[in-house]
Amino acid sequence: MKGGAAPASNKAAMDARTLVAHVLAVAAIVLVLLWCIHFRGGLALRSQDKPLIFNVHPVLMVLGPIVLAGEAILSYRSLPLARDARKKVHLALHAAGLAGGVLGVYAVFKFHVESGIPNLYSLHSWVGIATVTLYGLQWTAGFLTYFFPGASPTTRRRTLPWHAVFGLLIFVLAVGTAQLGFLEKLTFMQGQPLRLPKYGAEALLINFTAVVVLLLGVAVVLATVNIDGTREGELPQRQRRERSCMDGQPGGKGGASAVAAPSRCMDERVEEEPRRRGRRGKRW
């Protein structure tokens, strides 16, 4: 009974963290759209009003490398689908996130060129270009290794942990880049010629949006990593053996070396049953 309660509680906690991440993702999109449409006048890739071109940039950079990328990360663990289906959803969401990031970078370059502003002069722009580049390389490597043409099972098994770690690091880098972007834009707007009030509604909205994006990044990381405090060495011997047996079942994580695990585990259960009966007999 106790052995089944812990996995159930862990699953409930993960579901709660995933739900919080989904809510924060929706809130981040709503807030950045509210800022760019209500306070900044709207979005346009072609316009005589050049700031409208810039407005495309923060919307797509939040939507693409942060919201869609976060949903892609969560989908691989949280969607109640078959593994192949989850893998395709994961791939498609990351492709959409990457496309949004590339288009967002294009929008800000277009705005700078048409407004006579130099490119790539700030830390935000340097880290942003590096993040989108790494995102593209990560997606390409994942596509070639796990989707088409696909590497050998051994290679996929060995590279999967690194793929997951690098993907999460790139996501964290995207969230950090967004923080730099919000800070840079707000600093510019509070100077000449706009002189945006430091405690005005727009300034507070920008800061609040940045906080929500930061919390979204934290929520995605917490929903992805395993924060169960129980170490493998601290588990009871029987529970460790049952977990090892489960790893050898179809869908388990035992790999090729666990092919013989089911029969081995059945033998261990058969051998242990008389011992359990003997212990019960002694108690009586």
Question: Would residue 273 count as lying in a domain?
Answer: no
Q: What CATH number corresponds to the domain at position 110?
A: 1.20.120.1770
- Please indicate, yes or no, if residue 186 is contained in any of the structural domains: yes
Cα separation of 284 and 268, whole Å? 25
Output the pLDDT for position 261.
44
pLDDT on residue 256: 40
**Cα(231)–Cα(240) distance, integer angstroms:** 11
Q: Is residue 279 part of a domain?
A: no
Q: Which residue has tokens 């972007």? A: 181
Is residue 5 situated within a structural domain? no
**Which range marks the domain in which residue 70 is found?**
16-226
Domains contained in the chain, number: 1
Sign of the alpha-carbon torsion through 200, 203, 207, 208: positive
Return the amino acid letter for 223: A
| 275 in any annotated domain | no
Could you tell me if residue 4 is inside a domain? Answer: no
Question: Quick one: pLDDT at residue 278?
Answer: 52
pLDDT at site 227:
61
Looking at residue 7, its amino acid is P
Predicted local distance difference test score (pLDDT) of residue 184: 97
Q: Count of residues for the chain? A: 284
Model pLDDT, residue 251: 42
**209, 27 contact by CB (below 8 A):** no
Q: Which residues contact 114 (CB under 8 A, 6 or more apart)?
A: 50, 53
Percentages (nearest 5) of helix, strand, coil residues in the chain: 80, 0, 20
Query: What's the rounded Cα separation, in Å, for the pair 214 and 175?
Result: 6
- Is residue 282, in this structure, part of any structural domain at all? no
Sign of CA dihedral 108, 195, 123, 25: negative
What's at 205, amino acid-wise?
Answer: L
- Which stretches in the chain have pLDDT values below 70? 1-10, 13, 227-284
Within a domain: 261: no
The pLDDT of residue 215:
98
State how far the Cα of 39 lies from the Cα of 238, in Å rounded to an integer: 62
